Structure 1
Amino acid sequence: MSFSDYKGYRLRNRVFVGFLAICFLSIITSAVLSFIILRNNAKDQSRTDMQNKSEALMSSLDYALSHSQVKTGDIPRILENKIYEIADINKHDIIIYDLDGNYLLSNKEPNLVAQKKMPAEVIKAIRKNGKQYDDKSYDENLKASIISSYMVLKNNMLENVAYVYFPYYHNESAYMVVFKHYFAYIIGVNILIVLFSIWLSWIISNNLTKAITRFTSMISRINLFDKNLQPIRYYKNDELNALVKAYNKMISEIADQRERLSYIEKQSAWQEMAKQVAHEVKNPLTPMKLMMQNFERKFDANDPNNETKVKNLSEVIIGQIEVISRVATAFSEFAQLPKRNDEEIILNKEIRNVLTIFSDENIFVHASHDHIMMKIDKDYLARIIINLVTNASQAKSDDRKSVINVDLEKIEKRIKITVNDNGIGIPEDKLDKIFDPNFTSKSSGMGIGLTMVKRMVEDYNGSITVVSEVDKGAVFTISMPSNL
């Protein structure tokens, strides 16, 4: 995994975790609020229901006693039959005690009433309270909280005549069961929301980092000399759109700057070439002029050797004209490369065929693959290899046997060609000028061979570099994109 991939991975995780954190926080908050609201509603409903039930029971008893002024001793007689009806309607047991806490009447059989006497603390509390006393307890058998209530029974004159006991008349936990049931539904829904949030956050974070990684990859490949820079097509109106616009603007400006730089380089190259051509043409013209002037000054019409002198002069002039012709031919070749005719070839085979012209040299070809394919013009390839190998051959040292290695490698989507010799090498102060159009370290020629090689390599969006050490040799390395 590359560094950029690692950073993208970290960013995706941060977005993913951040999105999940927000979802979890929202879900936990809503669950807690739901828990508090439902619990409070359950308690309120429990209290309301308990109050309604107790009021209903007391209203029925009050109604039964409202027809006459009743005393405590009259209650068993008046409610003897009514108490069964009231208990059945309200579906609850009723036990009535006198004001001293002694058992008077119940809808249950007397022998089934466990509490024949009210506890003294209850009597004391209800007398102090004057209205009602609720006794809360926990029933292990029911596993629930229950409430028994003692209430004051009054006659139609609002006088206290008895105490009414409703045993286990309210199960508070029943409402909590309902609450837990609804809360379980809420938890289930929240789990589904969490799962959906995980999926959605992963999709969002993954799409975001994929877009950023793609943009980063395209930006990292920006090269001033790359003619294949493509604009990013992005149609979403978000923050990344500003980045895309900036990138597209930048590559447009790079294209303009590349054209401008190319124009300036061409102008500079032509200026240098013009100076070099003028110098190369002037070199043979000067001796030709001197020879003609000398011949004219010494010419004697009666000299029997005139024919020989004219012949010698003619040979010298023709030789110098040939030099000028070679200069013109080299200049013409530099001015315009031949038209490319690309075709798919096996580099290994084609380079070996080209090197057959160097039959007397120790040239060895090595390749990382048996068949390295590339789409290239055969003439371009031949001129590149011949120029590099010729230079390597001409740079051989007198004190050792010349050995030239031509290595071919295919690394991912690039092809690497290396020409390595064990010759005299190139001085460090000349390395920077080795590809200049007018530079040469030889006594003859215009020094445009390596310049043409560079132009042809760059025509395939490649590059050429040289590393050398004096008296140990030089290494020329060509790197080109694989176009197959």
Structure 2
Amino acid sequence: MPLSDYKGYRLRNRVFIGFLTICILSVVTSAALSFVILRDNAKMVSKTDMQNKSQALMASLDYALSHSQVQTYDIPKVLENEIYEIADINKHDIIIYDLKGNYLLSNKDPNLVEQKKMPANVLNEIRKNGKQYDDKSYDEKLDASIVSSYMVLKNNMLEDIGYIYFPYYHNESAYMEVFKHYFAYIIGVNILIIIFSIWLSWIISNNLTEAIVRFTSMISRINLFDKNLQPIKYYKNDELNALVKAYNKMIAEIADQRERLSYIEKQSAWQEMAKQVAHEVKNPLTPMKLMMQNFERKFDPNDPNITNKVKNLSEIVIGQIDVISRVASAFSQFAQLPEKTDEEISLNKEVRNSLTIFSDENIFVHANHDDIRMKIDKDYLTRIITNLVTNASQAKSDDRKSVINVDLEKIEKRIKITVQDNGVGIPTDKLDRIFDPNFTSKNSGMGIGLTMVKRMVEDYNGTITVVSEVDKGATFTISMPSNL
């Protein structure tokens, strides 16, 4: 996956997850809040309903006892018939106890009343608060929470005359079932909202990142020497529009700067090369001139050794002319590289063939594949390898045996060539200028070998770098596409 696509994919996921997280948190929060509110409301309604029913029951009993001043022992007689009517109207059983907790009266048959005496703990509690005691329990038969209430019965003088027991008075589970049923609807709606949020967040994140990935891809291909840079067409009036405008402005400026830089570089390069060529040509001409002038002053036709002297002079002049010829040839080679003829080759084989001329050197070739294929001009490859190995050979140290390692690697669709030596190394202050056309760290030569190597590598959209440490050696690394 291209780097730009990978970044876009990561950004798309972050936007998608962020948006989805907010949606889910909102839904979960609202669901939790609804749960708490509905649960509390169910409990409150249940409690209110229980209070209303208990008040209705007590109001009916109070009314039945309000006609005379009733005492505890009068209760069975006064409520003998009324208790059945009150129980039927309120649809609840009623059991009445005296102030000691003993059974007095009920709407049920006395034989069916299981609890003939109030529990001691209940009696103590109701005496303590003087109002009401609710006994909560769980009925397995009904599978429900049951509340039984004990309340104080007063006469018309507000004197305590007994205790009222409403068994199985209130079923809280009925209200909770309504709450659960309603909450199930909320959960279903929230699930639909989450599904819609997933779909919407995916669409939004995709639309955003697709535009960013496209822009990133175009920006990543910007090259100062690329003449085919195209402006981005984007018509939406949003934040990305500013990025598009900046990009379009930048490529317009790049085109202008490229023309200016090209002209300046050409002028500067040729000026520097002209100076270097003039210097290299002048070096042999000066001693030739001095030699000719000295020979003219001392010329004696009658000298018996005149023939040998003329011959020596001729050999020296011819040697210097050869030097000038080599300078001219080197300059010609730098000025124009040969025309390329690309063909598919075996890198392993061609590199080994190129190194056969270095028979006296300790050169070792390593490769991560037995047959690395690439498409390149053979002459270009030969000149690249021989130049780098020649430099490595000439940089050998006097105090150790020279070893040169040539590593060949194919990583996906790129070729990596590494030439490493254990020579004298390159000083730090010279590393930045090592590929300059007029720079050399040797005592002879014009310093255009590495410049030509760089030009040939870049001609294949490749790069060449160098790292070095003085007295330990240097490593040149070439990376270029396999073109297959």
Give TM-score scaled by structure 1 length: 0.61
Task: State how 1:271-420 maps to structure 2 within 5 Å.
Answer: 271-420=271-420
Tell me, in whole angstroms, the C-alpha distance in 1 between the residues paired with 2:477 and 2:225: 18
* CA distances 1:388-431 after superposition (whole Å, capped 9, x unpaired): 00111111222222111011223344322110011122223322
Give the superposition deviation at 1:191. 5.8
* CA distances 1:282-320 after superposition (whole Å, capped 9, x unpaired): 111111211222222233344444433332222222111
Equivalence for 2:50: none
Tell me, in whole angstroms, the C-alpha distance in 1 between the residues paired with 2:252 and 2:27: 43
**Contact preservation (8 Å) 2:12, 2:206:** no
Task: State how 1:53-452 maps to structure 2 within 5 Å.
Answer: 192=192, 195-216=195-216, 218-219=218-219, 222=222, 224=224, 232=232, 234=234, 238-452=238-452
* CA distances 1:168-206 after superposition (whole Å, capped 9, x unpaired): xxxxxxxxxxxxx99999997886565334313212223
Tell me, in whole angstroms, the C-alpha distance in 1 between the residues paired with 2:230 and 2:414: 19
Tell me, in whole angstroms, the C-alpha distance in 2 between the residues paired with 1:245 and 1:377: 41
Sort the Cα spacing of 1:213 and 1:453 in 2 relative to 1 into closer, same or farther, 3 A.
same
Sort the Cα spacing of 1:402 and 1:285 in 2 relative to 1 into closer, same or farther, 3 A.
same
* CA distances 1:63-97 after superposition (whole Å, capped 9, x unpaired): xxxxxxxxxxxxxxxxxxxxxxxxxxxxxxxxxxx
Tell me, in whole angstroms, the C-alpha distance in 1 between the residues paired with 2:275 and 2:381: 29
Sort the Cα spacing of 1:347 and 1:273 in 2 relative to 1 into closer, same or farther, 3 A.
same
**Contact preservation (8 Å) 1:367, 1:408:** yes
Tell me, in whole angstroms, the C-alpha distance in 1 between the residues paired with 2:250 and 2:374: 31
Equivalence for 1:172: none
Find the residue that maps to 2:366 and give its secondary structure.
strand
Give the superposition deviation at 1:452. 0.8
* CA distances 1:338-392 after superposition (whole Å, capped 9, x unpaired): 1122222232222122112212211111112233332222111111100000111
**Contact preservation (8 Å) 2:454, 2:464:** yes
**Contact preservation (8 Å) 1:365, 1:405:** yes
Q: Aligned partner of 2:436: which letter? A: D
Tell me, in whole angstroms, the C-alpha distance in 1 between the residues paired with 2:232 and 2:207: 16
Of residues 10, 34, 54 in structure 1, which corresponds to 2:14?
A: 10
Q: Which has the larger radius of gyration?
A: 1
Equivalence for 1:141: none
Sort the Cα spacing of 1:237 and 1:350 in 2 relative to 1 into closer, same or farther, 3 A.
farther
* CA distances 1:35-69 after superposition (whole Å, capped 9, x unpaired): 9xxxxxxxxxxxxxxxxxxxxxxxxxxxxxxxxxx
**Contact preservation (8 Å) 1:231, 1:247:** yes
Which deviates more, 402-411 or 252-261?
252-261
Equivalence for 1:147: none
Number of corresponding residues: 368
Identity %: 81
Task: State how 1:40-55 maps to structure 2 within 5 Å.
Answer: none
* CA distances 1:71-125 after superposition (whole Å, capped 9, x unpaired): xxxxxxxxxxxxxxxxxxxxxxxxxxxxxxxxxxxxxxxxxxx99xxx9xxxxxx
Tell me, in whole angstroms, the C-alpha distance in 2 between the residues paired with 1:20 and 1:9: 16
Equivalence for 1:158: none
Sort the Cα spacing of 1:218 and 1:388 in 2 relative to 1 into closer, same or farther, 3 A.
same
Q: Aligned partner of 1:313: which letter? A: L
* CA distances 1:137-157 after superposition (whole Å, capped 9, x unpaired): xxxxxxxxxxxxxxxxxxxxx
Give the superposition deviation at 1:222. 4.8
**Contact preservation (8 Å) 1:375, 1:483:** yes
RMSD: 5.0
Give the superposition deviation at 1:335. 0.8
Find the residue that maps to 2:443 and give its secondary structure.
coil
Q: Aligned partner of 1:422: which letter? A: N
In structure 1, list runs of 5 or more residues that go unmatched.
Answer: 36-113, 120-180
Sort the Cα spacing of 1:205 and 1:17 in 2 relative to 1 into closer, same or farther, 3 A.
farther
Find the residue that maps to 1:365 and give its secondary structure.
strand
Tell me, in whole angstroms, the C-alpha distance in 1 between the residues paired with 2:218 and 2:294: 69
Equivalence for 1:65: none
Q: Aligned partner of 1:9: which letter? A: N
Q: Aligned partner of 2:349: which letter? A: K
**Contact preservation (8 Å) 1:427, 1:470:** yes
Give TM-score scaled by structure 2 length: 0.61
Tell me, in whole angstroms, the C-alpha distance in 1 between the residues paired with 2:301 and 2:200: 107
Tell me, in whole angstroms, the C-alpha distance in 2 between the residues paired with 1:25 and 1:253: 52
Q: Aligned partner of 1:385: which letter? A: I
